[in-house]
Structure 1
Amino acid sequence: MPPPIKGWSSRLSALYSKHIKGVPKAPPVSPNTAALLSLLFTVIYVVPFYLSPATRPSPRLTRDAPSSIRARVRAVSFSCVVSVLLTVYVLHQTGHVSPWEIVKLLGLWPISLWDSARTMLLVAILFAGPLFEYGIVDGELKSWLRGRGVHESLSSWIGYRNYVVGPVSEELIWRALVIPLHVLAQFSAHQIIFLTPLYFGVAHVHHLYEFRLTHPQTPLSLAVLRSLFQFTYTSLFGFFAAFVFIRTGNVYTCVLSHTFCNWMGLPRLYGRVGVEAGEPIGPPDVARSHGDGSKLKGKGIAWTVAYYVILVAGAVGFYSLLIPLTESSHSLPVVLWEE
């Protein structure tokens, strides 16, 4: 049983006490306000992509074009500023939360490197199988230790979008802004964890339209399945990120986890290792290969067996360590377990 919430969060508990002397008390922020603002933030984030020829996708301008990425980064930056200002106003004026407590509710302070390190260890355990395949089987470990892969990833506009702008802006909107609104609206912990990420998933549905523009030869049914699959895994990550944000009160940890997951891509669930590289969530034009440019060669069956054993062990370890490795004194004032 986790320890009771301590510190600053206990002072906030009075804001959403459900009863005072038996009389129900209205939440500081109404549930409708929290839901409508979350939907508004999603619209503000996505719609600007289609308002300007510089950002609007077309058969001749894909979302991966450097000019489109630069324009979209500017649009996203503007959307984030507007969303932050709206959230701060509502929390302060409607929720009567002090500026210092707003900073804490948004997960901006305090910064706990220890909490971030433990959560990243948890994520690494989940991806133990892919780390084994990419680092050991494919021989990328030396490149990682030298930081070569980081430089190559961030030196392109696609990498900058996928590993910096995307994680920072998305975690700011759908974790640091949306979750505090739902906390003050007295949504339950389970509702916050499993409801708020759906806004995050919906924000990616527009990729179906973009994909159809740039891949008209792909059957509509396959394009829809691709979009549904993307909605599923973005929502699954959102469940985890929402849980981490509540448990640690730290948006930076969510950003790091998001970047790491984008970099790793989806784990291989079938096939032999060292034969075909799985398609990553990140840049589709970046394939895994040895540093000298040579093609990956097939490995013996023992490598594949080892991979799947490690993959399953990583999943079991993730489940077992999810609670202890996300324990923090900076958690948000949300009751996850009844006493």
Structure 2
Amino acid sequence: MATPASFFHHPDSSRPALPGAAAVAACAAMAVSYVAVLYAPTVLLRLPPPTSLRAFLHRRFVCAAFSSAASVLATASLLRVWSIGDLSDALAVFGIRSDHLLQAVAIPLLLTSLVYAGSFVARLWLLATSCGRDDGELEIGFAQRLAHWICAAVGDVMVWRNCVVAPITEELVFRACMVPLLLCGGFKIYSIIFLSPIFFSLGK
């Protein structure tokens, strides 16, 4: 089965085919490995347990990056992306393209980030309500409080986990890698809409 023509801009580009069962198996393997690799430092590498939450999450950041890179390489190999001469066409297979870049990257990333936006909204609400309190301290404006909160958030490892690392790696694995595999496997768009959450649940 051929890859949809929207992935390739040149009519003479080779269109890789992939059996449907192989596409499903590859997506399932990526979903399972996305979680399994998080336990690699202690189970496979026999590293000592982390001494702090920051060290623990730093390890997980590295593991998530490794899993995402492995998924990209696996997808590129299965779809024979290396045979595409033009880099822009190769990136288009993963949904990264110059045309409609907002729809292809920013909007899906934003939608995924909304899943983790609860803590952000709660802190912002707490910040807004604290401005009206009379606690005997020097009155600080909302803008200054917001600036202090942003500086604290930048150094907070949980903020990086919830708002940066998790959304980017999940978008890369569960959307950029799995969707082209399923499309090349002959699945219809509506089927992929229902299949993608199933694979995402395997990784949770």
TM-score range, shorter chain: 0.5 to 0.7
Q: Does 1:155 align with 2:165?
A: no
Q: Structure 2: how far apart are the matches of 1:72 and 1:117?
A: 24
- SS of match in other structure, 2:27: helix
Counterpart mapping for 1:314-329 below 5 A: none
The root-mean-square deviation of aligned C-alpha atoms, in Å, is 4.3
Partner of 2:203: 203
What is the one-letter code of the residue matched to 1:92? R
Q: Structure 2: how far apart are the matches of 1:160 and 1:55?
A: 25
- SS of match in other structure, 2:31: helix
Q: Structure 1: how far apart are the matches of 2:105 and 2:36?
A: 35
Q: Structure 2: how far apart are the matches of 1:32 and 1:155?
A: 44
- CA 1:7–1:191 in 2, change beyond 3 Å: closer, same or farther? closer
- Count of residue correspondences: 177
Query: By how many angstroms is 1:66 displaced?
Result: 1.2
Query: By how many angstroms is 1:150 displaced?
Result: 3.5
Among 102, 116, 125, which residue is 1:134 paired with?
A: 125
What is the one-letter code of the residue matched to 1:106? F
Partner of 1:288: none
Q: Structure 2: how far apart are the matches of 1:199 and 1:179?
A: 11
| TM-score relative to the length of structure 1 | 0.42
Does the 8 A contact of 1:66 with 1:157 survive in 2? yes
Among 74, 89, 93, which residue is 1:101 paired with?
A: 89
- CA 1:164–1:191 in 2, change beyond 3 Å: closer, same or farther? same
Partner of 1:92: 80
Q: Does 1:44 align with 2:27?
A: no
Q: Does 1:33 align with 2:22?
A: yes
- CA 1:55–1:150 in 2, change beyond 3 Å: closer, same or farther? farther
Q: Structure 2: how far apart are the matches of 1:82 and 1:32?
A: 20
Q: Deviations over 1:115-157 (max 9, x none)?
A: 489949x96xxx9xx79x9399747894599554443223111
Q: Deviations over 1:228-255 (max 9, x none)?
A: xxxxxxxxxxxxxxxxxxxxxxxxxxxx
Does the 8 A contact of 2:153 with 2:159 survive in 1? yes
Q: Structure 2: how far apart are the matches of 1:180 and 1:147?
A: 41
Query: By how many angstroms is 1:51 displaced?
Result: 3.0
Q: Deviations over 1:162-217 (max 9, x none)?
A: 1111111111000110111111112111111111122112211xxxxxxxxxxxxx
Task: Tell me: higher relative CO, structure 1 or 2? Use CA pairs within 8 A at least 6 residues apart.
Answer: 2
- CA 1:52–1:109 in 2, change beyond 3 Å: closer, same or farther? same
- CA 1:181–1:139 in 2, change beyond 3 Å: closer, same or farther? farther
Q: Structure 1: how far apart are the matches of 2:78 and 2:5?
A: 25
- CA 1:144–1:6 in 2, change beyond 3 Å: closer, same or farther? farther
Structure 1 gap ranges (5+) = 17-26, 205-339
Q: Structure 2: how far apart are the matches of 1:34 and 1:187?
A: 9
- SS of match in other structure, 1:53: helix
Q: Structure 2: how far apart are the matches of 1:49 and 1:8?
A: 32
Counterpart mapping for 1:213-224 below 5 A: none
Counterpart mapping for 1:292-331 below 5 A: none
- CA 1:7–1:106 in 2, change beyond 3 Å: closer, same or farther? closer
- CA 1:144–1:116 in 2, change beyond 3 Å: closer, same or farther? farther
Does the 8 A contact of 1:29 with 1:181 survive in 2? yes
Q: Does 1:77 align with 2:68?
A: no
List structure 1 runs of 4+ shifted beyond 6 angstroms.
Answer: 5-8
Among 34, 53, 63, which residue is 1:65 paired with?
A: 53
- SS of match in other structure, 2:41: coil
What is the one-letter code of the residue matched to 2:164? V
What is the one-letter code of the residue matched to 2:191? Q
- CA 1:137–1:198 in 2, change beyond 3 Å: closer, same or farther? same
- CA 1:35–1:142 in 2, change beyond 3 Å: closer, same or farther? farther
What is the one-letter code of the residue matched to 1:75? C
Q: Determine what percentage of the aligned residue pairs are the same residue.
A: 21
What is the one-letter code of the residue matched to 1:32? A
Q: Structure 2: how far apart are the matches of 1:173 and 1:117?
A: 13
Structure 2 gap ranges (5+) = 112-116, 132-140
Partner of 1:176: 176
